[in-house]
Amino acid sequence: MINAFSLPGGSVYIGEGMLDLMMTEDELANILAHEIEHIDHYHCVERVQVEAKLKDLNLELLGALLQLPLDFWEAGYHKDEEFEADREGMYLAVRSGYSPYGAVDTFERFAKLCDEYVIHAQSPDQELSELAIQSLNGYFRSHPLPSERLAEANRLIAQEHWETRKEQKPFRIEYEVHNGAYVK
Ligand SMILES: [Zn+2]
């Protein structure tokens, strides 16, 4: 799954396919911060309340949240909420000591992927599986164009004079847990 999403209450999920695309810890920090900002600005709470009304779910019941389908969580938010999460996420990542270029590099990679797999739908020797491409398409449908997000990220870097904060930490996996057991 090449996507990331957050639930009210603070859980953030990030797909393995998305992790596979990351080259630096700063890219991961910017993605996580983006999802945290959706929670912090109550974007996901509003969506849950709308969906619950439509489906007549009683959110007082703990199980009701789990009745919302996965594609609801993957569907994304309004365009202005996405830009808000990008912008506030970059502030959060920078305040935590990460490079804002983590966001820039991620959006550049998304722009390239969007061009290769969505605009010019590559086929025979493509590096990604059909499934990965499907989830990538879902991600691009639910987010503003990567080229627009990239332009906004660069604009914020110029505005905040963050140009010197270029250094990023390489992405590495500390440990893995499968079904509750450490495997590495
Ligand atoms: Zn988002």
The one-letter amino acid at 126: Q
Distance 36 CA to ligand 1 centre (A): 9
Structure tokens at 95: 């305040």
Distance 82 CA to ligand 1 centre (A): 5
Which residues are paired to 25 by β-bridges? none
- Comparing 156 with 12, the larger pLDDT belongs to 156
Distance 174 CA to ligand 1 centre (A): 26
DSSP-derived letter for residue 3 is -
Q: Is the pLDDT of residue 47 over 90?
A: no
Q: Containing domain of residue 80, as a range?
A: 4-182
pLDDT confidence bin for 70, thresholds 50/70/90 = low
- Comparing 68 with 118, the larger pLDDT belongs to 118
- Rounded mean pLDDT of 25-48? 85
Q: Is the pLDDT of residue 122 over 90?
A: no
Q: Is the pLDDT of residue 64 over 60?
A: no
- Comparing 116 with 167, the larger pLDDT belongs to 167
Distance of CA 27 to the CA centre of its chain: 10
User: Into how many domains does the chain fold?
Assistant: 1
pLDDT confidence bin for 52, thresholds 50/70/90 = low
- Whole-structure pTM over 0.85, yes or no? no
Structure tokens at 146: 């990567």
Distance 136 CA to ligand 1 centre (A): 14
Residue in the block written with tokens 């996996």 = 173
- Comparing 182 with 100, the larger pLDDT belongs to 100
Distance 125 CA to ligand 1 centre (A): 30
Distance 96 CA to ligand 1 centre (A): 20
